[in-house]
A and B are shown apart, each in its own frame.
Chain A
Amino acid sequence: MKEQTKRIAINCGGGYVPGLNAVITGVVLAADQLKREVVGIRDGFDGLLFPERYPNGGLLKLTPHVVENLSAGTGALLGNATRTDPFHVRQVTEENLVEEMDLSGDLLAKIAAEKIEAVISIVGPRALSILFKLHKQGLRTVCVPTSVENDVAATQLSFGFNSALSFAVDMLERVRQAAQSARKIGVVEVLGEHAGWLALQAGIAVCADAVLIPEIPYDIQKVAVKLREKADSGRTSGLVVVAEGALPQGGQRPAADGAMTESLKASLSPGATGQGGSHVIEGAGRAAQVVAHHLQRLTDQMTYPLVLGPLIRGGSPTAVDRQLGLGYGAAAVRALNENQSGVVVAFQPPDLKFVPLAEAINKVRTVPDDSVFVQIARSLGIALGNEVRP
Chain B
Amino acid sequence: MNSSPPTASSLKGVVLNIQHFSTHDGPGMRTTVFLKGCSLRCKWCSNPESIYPNPELAYNLSRCIGKDECGFCLPKCRESALFNVDSDAKVRINWDLCTNCGECASVCPPQALYLFGREMTVDEVLDEVEKDSGFYRESGGGMTLSGGECQLQADFAAGLLAGAHKRGINTAIETASNVPWRFMEKILPHVDIVLHDIKLTDPERHKKWTGVDNTRVRENLQRAYDSFPDKTFIARTPLIPGVNDDEEHLRATLAFIKPYKNVVDYELLPYMRFGESKYGFLGRIYEMQDFDPPTPETLARLRSIIDEAFGRSGNRTQI
Contacts and interface: CB of A to CB of B under 8 A. Distances in A.
Contact of A195 (B40, B87, B289): B87
A390 interface: no
Given A271-B114, A272-B281, A274-B60, A264 B88 contact: no
B212 A366 contact: no
Most A Cβ at <10 Å: residue of B60, B152, B289:
B60
6 contacts: A95-B179, A99-B39, A129-B97, A364-B85, A367-B87, A368-B86
Nearest to A367: B87
Contacts of A275: 62-63
A215, A274, A280 — most chain B CB neighbours (10 Å): A274
Interface stretch (B246-254, B268-276, B296-304): B268-276
B97 A133 contact: yes
B150 to A, nearest CB: 14
Contact of B88 (A85, A92, A100, A214): A214
Nearest to A92: B212
B156 interface: no
Given A264-B273, A274-B62, 4 more contacts: A215-B87, A269-B278, A272-B277, A279-B60
Nearest to B82: A362
B58 interface: yes
Given A268-B274, A279-B281, A96 B178 contact: yes
A283 B276 CA distance: 12
A358 B80 CA distance: 9
Interface string A315-345: 0000000000000000000000000000000
Q: Chain A: interface secondary structure?
A: loop
Contacts of A110: none
Contacts of A364: 85-87
Contact of B274 (A195, A215, A267, A283): A267
Give 3 nearest A-B pairs by CB, closest first. Answer: A362-B83, A129-B96, A97-B39
Interface in A92-120: 92, 95-100
Contacts, number: 105
A90 B114 contact: no
A98 B211 contact: yes
A67 B42 CA distance: 41
Contacts of A274: 60, 62-63, 277
A92 B211 contact: yes
A246 to B, nearest CB: 10
A366 B241 CA distance: 43
A180 B194 CA distance: 67
A279 B83 contact: no
Interface string B57-79: 01011110000000000000000
A281 interface: yes
B274 A264 contact: yes
A361 B94 contact: yes
A46 B277 CA distance: 30
A97 B179 contact: yes
A100 B289 contact: no
Interface string B111-134: 000101000000000000000000
Contacts of B189: none
Given A126-B96, A275-B63, A281 B276 contact: yes
Contacts of A130: 96
A283 B289 contact: yes
A230 B210 CA distance: 56
B96 A362 contact: no
B250 to A, nearest CB: 25
B225 interface: no
Nearest to B178: A96
Contact of B212 (A98, A100, A368): A98
Interface string B142-167: 00000000001000000000000000
Interface of A: 85, 87, 90, 92, 95-100, 126, 129-130, 132-133, 194-195, 214-215, 245, 252, 264, 267-269, 271-272, 274-276, 278-281, 283, 358, 361-364, 366-368
Contacts of B40: 98
Given A130-B96, A271-B114, A362-B80, A280 B63 contact: no
B83 A363 contact: yes
A194 B178 contact: no
Given A364-B85, A366-B87, A268 B94 contact: no
A95 B177 CA distance: 12
Interface in B253-270: none
B135 interface: no
Nearest to B272: A267
A272 B275 CA distance: 9
Nearest to B53: A99
Interface in B185-242: 210-212, 215-216
B180 interface: yes
Nearest to A267: B274
Nearest to A132: B97
A172 to B, nearest CB: 22
Nearest to A246: B87
Contacts of B17: 269
A100 B96 CA distance: 14
A244 B124 CA distance: 47
Contacts of B277: 268, 272, 274, 279-281
B20 interface: no
B37 to A, nearest CB: 9
Nearest to A128: B96
B279 interface: yes
Given A267-B274, A281-B277, A362 B94 contact: yes
Contacts of B62: 252, 274-276, 278-279
Nearest to A265: B277
Contact of A90 (B86, B211, B276): B211
Contacts of A272: 60, 277-278, 281
Given A90-B41, A98-B212, A281-B286, A271 B88 contact: no
A129 B81 CA distance: 10
Nearest to A281: B280
